[in-house]
Structures are given as C-alpha cells and as structure tokens.
Amino acid sequence: MLELMDTPYRGFSSWKRFLLTASLLTLWSLTGAAQLTIIPETSIAVVGKDVLLSLHGLQEGSYASVTWFQGIGFVRSILSYDTETETVTEGPAFTSQEFLKSNGSLIIKGVQLADSGKYGVLVNSKDGELMSATQGFQVYEMPSKPSLIMDAPPEVIEFQSSVKFMCNSNNVDVNISWFLNNHELQPSPHLSLSSDNKSLTIHNVTRRDRGYYQCEVWNLVGLQSSDDINLIVYYGPDLVNITQESGSSVDNSMTIKLGSALTLLCRAASQPVAQYRWSLNSTSSLEQSGSLLTIEAVTWNHQGTYTCLAWNNLTQLSRSATVTINVVGVPDSSLSAGAIAGIVIGALVAAAFFIGLVYFLVFGKRNTEKKLEEHTQGGMTLGQSEYVAIDTLGSQRFTTPVKDLPEGHIYENKAAGYYNNPCGPASFPPPATDPSHQKESDYETLSSPYEDTYSTLDPST
C-alpha cells in the first residue's frame, strides 16, 4: 500500500490519496457494497472488440468519486474521476484504451489477451458512503486457419502402412479436434493422438480409414478448419463375382439358347479399380478384356467354363472366379405347339424323302449296270459308238447309229414284216391251230431279225 501511496496521481491531492487508502483498509466491506454491481457487456470477448463494464446501483450525480482497478485487491488503478474537481486521473494499469462514462461505467476499446481477468470499482458517495464491486471477463483470440500435413508412404496399402497427420496452428490456448469425412473421428485401437492433440497417427491402415481428413482448432469465440487431405488406401481385389447382367444373382452355371446373346459381368472390390482378363476352359485366352464379356450369337463353340481373373497392380494381388455355360438348341418358346409339331413333321418327311432319293440313285444305278452286263455278246462289251435299241416288238438289240443322214428325211426303224402291208403296220398270222403245222411266223423266218432296216418317210403324207 505504501507503493500505491507514493505513486503520483495527476489531479489528486495528498489528503485525498490518503483518504482513498484509508477507505480501502477500513471500509472494505460495507452495506452499500451489496447494492453496487458490475455487469460486463459480455463475459467472453474477442480480441479487437470493445467491452463495456456497466455500473448498476449507482445514480448519476450521486457519487463524489469513482476509481477503476484491474486485478484483485484494488491495487492497480486504471482511471479515477473526481466530481468536485472534474478531473480524471490515470493509474498504472491505464493503457490509453480505457474511457469513463458520466454514470461511472468503464469502456475498454479494442481489448487484447492481456485485458482478460477481474476488474474492481470503488465509489465514494456524496454522503460519505463507500461502495465497491468486482467482476471480470475473458478475452479470446479468433483462431486462424490451421494447416494440415500428412506424412505417409507414396503408396497408403491396406494392413501394410501407417500414416501420420500434423495440425499446425498459430494460436495458443486452443483446442484441436479431428474429422474424417466431416464426422468427428471416433477413438480406435489403431489410432493414437499426441498429448496436445496436434498429431494423429493411424497404425496399419484399413479401407475403413480412407477418406477426407481435417483438423479443427477452436475456442469459446470461434473455430477454423484446415483444408482436407484425402487418404487413399489401396486394397483388393476382393471376392470375384460373375453375373449375367448388372444386378442379377451370382450363379456358377448358366444355360444359354443357341444363337442368343450372352453378356457376362465380372466384379471385384478393389482400389484402384481391378483389371480383368477372360479365358475359356482355362486354356484359351479370349480377345475381350475388361469387366464385360459380350457374345452376340452363341454357338456350340461357346460352350464351356469361363474364368475371370481380376488383379491389382499396386497391391500385387489377384483373384478369379468361374462360370459354366451350357448351350442348348431348343426352339424358341414363343412358337405355338402346332407350329412346333409342323416343324417336326416337316423335318421327318424331308428326312424320308432324302433317304428314298439316295436309295433310288444307288440301287437304280446298280440295276442298270446289271442289265447292260447281261446284254454283252460273246463276252464283248458295247463300244463307244454302240447302244442298245428296242424294236417295235420290245426286243433289245445292239445297233450303231447312222451318221451323215440327209436333211428333210425322217428315219424310222421298222421290223421286216412291216413292209408286207404298205397301208399299216405289219400283219402277223394267227397262231396255227394245227398242231402239226410247223411253219414259223414271218417274224421268226426273218433272215436277219436284228438287222436295222431304215425306210424314207415322206413328211407330207
């Protein structure tokens, strides 16, 4: 208190300073002190903002002097105002940012972090009553945007890598929170935080750890979030599934109609996206690659076991699955029963006709060859210029065609007896009734019955 007494105060006389000191010592708690209160405009202030400490329970013009103090104990005075002399005295805690209002309230302009704490006031009323009150506020700095740094291998692989994040902030006395995909990060056995929460370590990352990470710094007056960093975890391929189309169920065997289209879809969870290769019956590599295998028209050659191989270049893992395709030649089910029956009958008739035609061609040829062989004379076969002729009586004989016949004539081969009757065909006598009659018929007595006889016919007759 001696230090306070020896401190020079502008506008205060020695006796008034003494009176003030005596008041602090002897009148610390008075009945009037309960009637005087300090109400801050806000209990939480932001750096750079103004704060008003209002006095309640004191009427304007009812006091002789008012003095404001910073801290506890009414030691470090800020400002004092004497109504009798109308003078303002600056104390050791004065920073040129404090101003008194006519009703005794105190305004602090552009508060700083150092302005946080308790504030007290002593009021000397005109009737000699001394009153006091104490209240305070806290000043916070609005957080600045933090920076987020990730320390990880160039390739973040599942169960094989660890990742460390560091959140850097220029603010003091701030809290730090961590977020994954805009949700606050939940505790996990493979997550660890430093004591000040400024670093986060993920041990043996899994695919559940992938996503966008952020750190957030905050206090009672605001918060700021860092830019996000995308953590990519490479994994897979997982179990491979083959379906006939998107959304259909997985089946190890499929039946496809002959001539219909076939589409097979191969899928496997993987990061990055898996690459695919198709093969047929484990030996024939198909030309098509990718997750889709398309066949426009199925043939019998497409029947077999198809294998889809999926692999990941970064994880160096691969998996495969197979499906068996059975091709059937069943007619289209859209045909009616009558149409199907007609198709079957037509097929049977065509088959019977084909068999008959083959039989006729094969066995007919054999019969003809047999007959020609029977007509071979004396063991001689027919020459190229000879052929078998059948006369009017139905007998077969060998003959040679006539060459270089004159034009305008018609030649006809007749039996010898024909010319005995110029008006018609040859007349043959009835068979003899007399058994003793041994004369042969005209046909039988021909000297050369198989000799060709040609006669010229007049076309005009």
pTM for this model (two decimals): 0.54
Q: How many CA atoms lie within 13 A of 189 on its CB side?
A: 1
Q: Is the pLDDT of residue 5 over 70?
A: no
Can you tell me the distance from the alpha carbon of 58 to that of 36, in angstroms, rounded to the nearest whole number?
7
Does any domain span residue 84? Answer: yes
Q: Are residues 103 and 70 in the same domain?
A: yes
For 202-229, how does the pLDDT look when each residue is reduced to its tens digit (9 = 90+)?
Answer: 999 999 999 999 999 998 889 999 999 9
Can you tell me the distance from the alpha carbon of 234 to that of 106, in angstroms, rounded to the nearest whole number?
62
> pLDDT at position 347, please?
73
Q: Is the pLDDT of residue 454 over 70?
A: no
**Nearest of 320, 275, 276, 313 to residue 157 by alpha carbon:** 313
Q: Are residues 399 and 423 in the same domain?
A: yes
The DSSP code sequence of 96-116 is: S-EEE-TTS-EEESS--GGG-
User: Cis bond leading into 272, ω under 30°?
Assistant: yes
Can you tell me the distance from the alpha carbon of 255 to that of 327, in angstroms, rounded to the nearest whole number?
6
Q: Are residues 15 and 112 in the same domain?
A: yes
**Nearest of 459, 460, 456, 452 to residue 392 by alpha carbon:** 452
Amino acid at 446: L
Does any domain span residue 339? Answer: no
More confident residue, 455 or 279: 279
> pLDDT at position 345, please?
80
For 330-382, how does the pLDDT look when each residue is reduced to its tens digit (9 = 90+)?
Answer: 544 455 555 556 666 877 777 787 787 777 776 666 665 555 555 444 444 44
Does any domain span residue 289? Answer: yes
Does any domain span residue 367? Answer: no
Residue 141: which residues within 8 A CB-CB, separation 6 or more? 46, 47, 113, 171, 172, 219, 221
Amino acid at 41: E
Amino acid at 259: G
> pLDDT at position 438, please?
44
Q: 53-62, 86-95, 369-378: lowest mean pLDDT where?
A: 369-378
Residue 329: which residues within 8 A CB-CB, separation 6 or more? 257, 258
Can you tell me the distance from the alpha carbon of 277 to that of 289, in angstroms, rounded to the nearest whole number?
5
Q: 12-26, 59-73, 224-238: lowest mean pLDDT where?
A: 12-26
- The whole-number average pLDDT for the span 423-433 is 42
Q: Are residues 394 and 442 in the same domain?
A: yes
Percent of the chain scored above 70 by pLDDT?
A: 66
Grade residue 184 by pLDDT with cuts at 50, 70 and 90. Answer: very high
Residue 440 has which token pair? 């042969």
> pLDDT at position 257, please?
93
Residue 461: which residues within 8 A CB-CB, separation 6 or more? none
Q: Is the pLDDT of residue 165 over 70?
A: yes
Q: Are residues 30 and 81 in the same domain?
A: yes
Q: Are residues 136 and 162 in the same domain?
A: no
Helix, strand or coil for residue 146?
coil
Does any domain span residue 287? Answer: yes
Contact (Cβ atoms closer than 8 angstroms) between residue 134 and residue 72:
yes
Domain with 275, as residue range(s), is 241-328
Does any domain span residue 357? Answer: no
| Residue 432: count of CB within 10 angstroms of its CB | 12
Contact (Cβ atoms closer than 8 angstroms) between residue 245 and residue 202:
no
Q: Are residues 151 and 72 in the same domain?
A: no
Residue 77 has which token pair? 């005075």
Q: Are residues 421 and 450 in the same domain?
A: yes
Does any domain span residue 333? Answer: no
Grade residue 244 by pLDDT with cuts at 50, 70 and 90. Answer: confident
Q: Are residues 24 and 114 in the same domain?
A: yes
Does any domain span residue 264? Answer: yes
Can you tell me the distance from the alpha carbon of 392 to that of 418, in angstroms, rounded to the nearest whole number?
10
Q: Are residues 100 and 46 in the same domain?
A: yes
Q: Is the pLDDT of residue 117 over 70?
A: yes
| CATH number of the domain encompassing residue 278 | 2.60.40.10
> pLDDT at position 340, please?
56
Q: How many CA atoms lie within 13 A of 270 on its CB side?
A: 26
- Please count the structural domains in the chain: 4
Q: Are residues 216 and 271 in the same domain?
A: no
> pLDDT at position 460, please?
54
